[in-house]
Chain A
């Protein structure tokens, strides 16, 4: 058994997070040692010799006070800016990322690949390619945590969160749930298997029963009767869903929103929240009729209707049906 003191660096971001860590460690060690040495030296040097002696009448010094206010403040601001820049690198998903839908539920992690592959408490990803995780929760808050990638994101019920990483070393890494979720929280663990791209292709080819995620979404779309209103013709009661994903839509109240995964999800579960301009609030909620995995399929189907609609970038051949779109910097 090995006793590591630092987690493995297995993603493109791991080193930059660790470098920030070492910088803070160096600054902290300097100040901690400085204080400790001063305290010990003063305590020894100025120890009370005579029972009745008192200390020197020193009240303070403005120059010193300003010094140890301004210098730490400056150092703290350097830490803040550095920390923020690493954060934005972690929050900005690269354009060409492979998308995988993740659903947390007590007490397991489910992954849905766009090809229709599903796995539980495991995640297979290719090495050297950015992977974007679209994370949902079926019940309570969870948190998807891969220490070797220095990446973590909460799975929050009622909304979609995203995270991304690019694995740099093939191998098997821990996957933990980091947000307390009840009885078997510590059992909500698994592994991330980083594979060479060719091996990953082979693994993906291992057969998904119901076709790709978008195809499953199309079946569900028809089964739920969505096509009745979202038929695509101009007289329909609902807006046309073709070519809208990744674009900006105008709402009845004049606001503009980006049609992304979160908007698609909200429109299914809470249709009246952000009505598109020119349509009546007729759509019922599908809360309870479709679960998070179904939502992933529907969202993916709606995305597939916008193939080539948004910014055309080379789709990773490994994953048909993934549609890159302009990324908001806001995670």
Chain B
């Protein structure tokens, strides 16, 4: 194609680049250059490194929990050790991996590029958010070394404020601190999207990943302070014996549950919305097609962010809260499921008459669609009042939210990691192994968590160190699945690390995908673009003019899209 691309009015893209080109990885060198960087791309990588460590630690605890549950007797770990293991697994996975995962890594790296910005609005705050996260991480690791915490990730008083003898204060403070990194990230994204868009990048042309990050950021900024307040009150009661939650001191334990879930239910959407954004990108890229119902997917992200704030009471159906409150929370919980359903239908419709390539990121995306659908549908079971009384606090709940958080968020995270890996590192990974890993994760995940629906309906309560013998068969299946899942997570670690050193050099646009991040060079230059792009087309406006660079191609400069026609979405 010899049309001039809009980002490059001078037509310089056709001149072979002089090697070595300066890009964000080789612009400066040394530890200090990384630790003091204000480049959003490098900060994204700092986060990637940090949360990978947390994922590993959280995963070890998950494996300990599953191994303990292989037999009905509490034989592998003591009660205290088991309670600490599931608590640390929950705290680390939720607050130190899932909440920062997609926003802090891929949001930081790609959101500015996708809107044609040079960086985020507040680069210094961005770096600060990483340091705050590291301080929080250091605190939680200290908690761990001191023997951990055994309250579960939910910190319900009065157990957390008067009952537990573990390191509740330090763990709560760690999460308190971590919340500020979340707030700063959210604030940065909101301001960036509002003020840093390239010429022509209208709201209606934003990639859906950006819409999802924007909706997520609203929740981060509005919800996280409530968590901070709540944990502050736990701290005040535990240390100074202020009577806030403990009835013996004149407090009310149910108050904590309202405060905690006012943040922690929206937090579920902090975890899943960015994943949904990733899936929109992947489905579009590997179908080479406009996402079906762009406006509806963008609007449903905002709808989830808003309605998600109004459903927290569905965690309290068995707590003795008023029956009328329960009714309201139940109906709102059913309503919040609808935007998610709309997304699933739209992704499926996007596949219709697409040009579908089942490369590894797409396998994760299709896996996400299936698992997220099951996760969402089982949420309806728990929103139904009469059923929830039986299922509350059983393994059915565990299975449901793992289908959302692992089958959803984690698969989307892996999909994003594979999709953007060539752009981030400039290298290609081994596609064959990546496909094997994607299938392994899918199979292992289902074997791990599907039996938990069954054992949950049978009545096995969560957070049980020992259980009655008739639950054993399903628990053995679950533990076997967890072992397969572990292999599925180890594989990418191996071939991605291998690709860093031995992988083929990636071109500008190895997938033949449409988007500003594929227009710029690989790896991107420090300021993201040689020339500020001018956007003239809506997102995902695939035409035959978008020449495709074959997977594995190593040439720079192709993958040019052009065309000045502006199509409405």
Bound form: Cα–Cα A47–B547 in Å: 18
Contact residues in B for A232 (Cβ distance below 8 Å): none
Contact residues in A for B157 (Cβ distance below 8 Å): 140
- Is B458 positioned at the interface, with any CB of A under 8 Å from its CB? yes
A182–B164 CB distance below 8 A: yes
Contact residues in A for B374 (Cβ distance below 8 Å): 28, 32
A42–B150 CB distance below 8 A: no
Bound form: Cα–Cα A154–B392 in Å: 10
Q: Tell whether A65 pairs with B356 under 8 Å between CB atoms, given A20-B384, A76-B335.
A: no
Q: Tell whether A187 pairs with B469 under 8 Å between CB atoms, given A7-B458, A79-B334.
A: no
Q: Tell whether A150 pairs with B390 under 8 Å between CB atoms, given A32-B377, A91-B323.
A: yes
Contact residues in B for A31 (Cβ distance below 8 Å): 373, 377
Distance (whole angstroms) from the CB of A311 to the closest CB of chain B: 21
28 A-B pairs with C-beta separation under 8 A: A7-B459, A20-B384, A21-B457, A27-B377, A35-B344, A35-B369, A35-B373, A38-B348, A43-B351, A46-B355, A52-B544, A53-B355, A54-B355, A57-B289, A59-B290, A72-B338, A77-B331, A79-B384, A83-B385, A106-B163, A158-B253, A174-B459, A174-B468, A178-B318, A178-B394, A183-B83, A186-B467, A330-B323
- Is B305 positioned at the interface, with any CB of A under 8 Å from its CB? no
Q: Tell whether A43 pairs with B320 under 8 Å between CB atoms, given A82-B384, A86-B385, A156-B254.
A: no
Distance (whole angstroms) from the CB of A310 to the closest CB of chain B: 22
Q: Tell whether A5 pairs with B454 under 8 Å between CB atoms, given A58-B353, A158-B247.
A: yes
B469–A84 CB distance below 8 A: no
Contact residues in A for B345 (Cβ distance below 8 Å): 64, 68
- Is B550 positioned at the interface, with any CB of A under 8 Å from its CB? yes
Within 8 Å by CB of B351, from A3, A42, A181, lies A42
B459–A147 CB distance below 8 A: yes
A154–B320 CB distance below 8 A: yes
- Is B349 positioned at the interface, with any CB of A under 8 Å from its CB? yes
Instruction: Show the binding face of B for A, using Cβ within 8 Å.
Output: 74, 79-80, 83, 150-152, 154, 156-159, 162-164, 246-248, 250-254, 287-290, 292-296, 318-320, 322-324, 326-327, 330-331, 334-335, 337-338, 341-342, 344-346, 348-349, 351-358, 366, 369-370, 373-374, 377-378, 380-381, 383-390, 392-394, 454, 457-459, 461-470, 472-474, 512, 542-544, 546-548, 550, 567, 569
Distance (whole angstroms) from the CB of B157 to the closest CB of chain A: 8
Bound form: Cα–Cα A53–B148 in Å: 55
- Is A51 positioned at the interface, with any CB of B under 8 Å from its CB? yes
Contact residues in A for B154 (Cβ distance below 8 Å): 180
- Is A253 positioned at the interface, with any CB of B under 8 Å from its CB? no
Bound form: Cα–Cα A59–B290 in Å: 6
Distance (whole angstroms) from the CB of B391 to the closest CB of chain A: 9
Distance (whole angstroms) from the CB of B334 to the closest CB of chain A: 4
Closest to A153 in B: B318
- Is A296 positioned at the interface, with any CB of B under 8 Å from its CB? no
B331–A58 CB distance below 8 A: no
Bound form: Cα–Cα A331–B320 in Å: 7
Bound form: Cα–Cα A79–B463 in Å: 29
Distance (whole angstroms) from the CB of A1 to the closest CB of chain B: 6
B387–A24 CB distance below 8 A: yes
- Is A225 positioned at the interface, with any CB of B under 8 Å from its CB? no
Bound form: Cα–Cα A61–B342 in Å: 13
Bound form: Cα–Cα A22–B162 in Å: 42
Contact residues in B for A186 (Cβ distance below 8 Å): 74, 79, 461, 463-467
Interface centre among B80, B351, B390, B465 (most CB of A within 10 A): B390
Contact residues in A for B454 (Cβ distance below 8 Å): 5
Instruction: Show the binding face of A for B, using Cβ within 8 Å.
Output: 1-7, 16-17, 20-21, 24, 27-28, 31-32, 35-36, 38-39, 42-43, 46-48, 51-61, 64-65, 68-69, 72-73, 76-77, 79-80, 82-91, 106, 139-141, 143, 145, 147-148, 150-154, 156-159, 161, 174, 176-187, 189, 270, 287, 329-331
B348–A21 CB distance below 8 A: no
Bound form: Cα–Cα A61–B295 in Å: 11
* Shortest Cβ-Cβ A-B pairs, 9 listed: A158-B247, A147-B459, A86-B386, A55-B289, A83-B384, A87-B385, A42-B351, A55-B354, A186-B464
B296–A60 CB distance below 8 A: yes
Within 8 Å by CB of B287, from A55, A140, A156, lies A55
B79–A184 CB distance below 8 A: yes
Distance (whole angstroms) from the CB of A134 to the closest CB of chain B: 12
A157–B253 CB distance below 8 A: yes
Distance (whole angstroms) from the CB of A329 to the closest CB of chain B: 7
B383–A83 CB distance below 8 A: yes
18 more A-B residue pairs beyond the given contacts A60-B569, A184-B79, A186-B466, with a C-beta to C-beta distance below 8 A: A51-B512, A53-B288, A54-B288, A57-B290, A58-B352, A64-B293, A65-B346, A80-B331, A84-B327, A87-B323, A141-B156, A150-B389, A156-B320, A159-B254, A161-B320, A183-B79, A186-B464, A331-B323
Bound form: Cα–Cα A73–B151 in Å: 37
Q: Tell whether A180 pairs with B463 under 8 Å between CB atoms, given A32-B377, A158-B252, A158-B253.
A: yes
Q: Tell whether A180 pairs with B294 under 8 Å between CB atoms, given A20-B386, A53-B288, A145-B459.
A: no
